[in-house]
Amino acid sequence: SLIVIGSHGRSNIRDRLLGTVSEYVIKNAHQPVLVIKRDVAAQK
C-alpha cells in the first residue's frame, strides 16, 4: 500500500502554527507516503 497526497505549496500563518494535512498524514501514516507538489508554472 502507498498513500499519495497532493501538496498545494501554499504556506500561511495558520499552516505554520497548526501544520498541514500532508504533514499530518506523513507523521501519522503507517504506510509509505508520496507527496506530489503542484507545479505552479505548469498551471499558468
What distance in Å separates the CA atoms of residue 19 and residue 43, rounded to the nearest whole number? 25
pTM: 0.64
Q: Identify how many contiguous H helices and E strands the chain contains and give both numbers.
A: 3, 2
Could you report the per-residue pLDDT of 3-44, keeping only the tens digit for each? 998 877 667 777 766 678 888 999 999 999 998 887 755 665
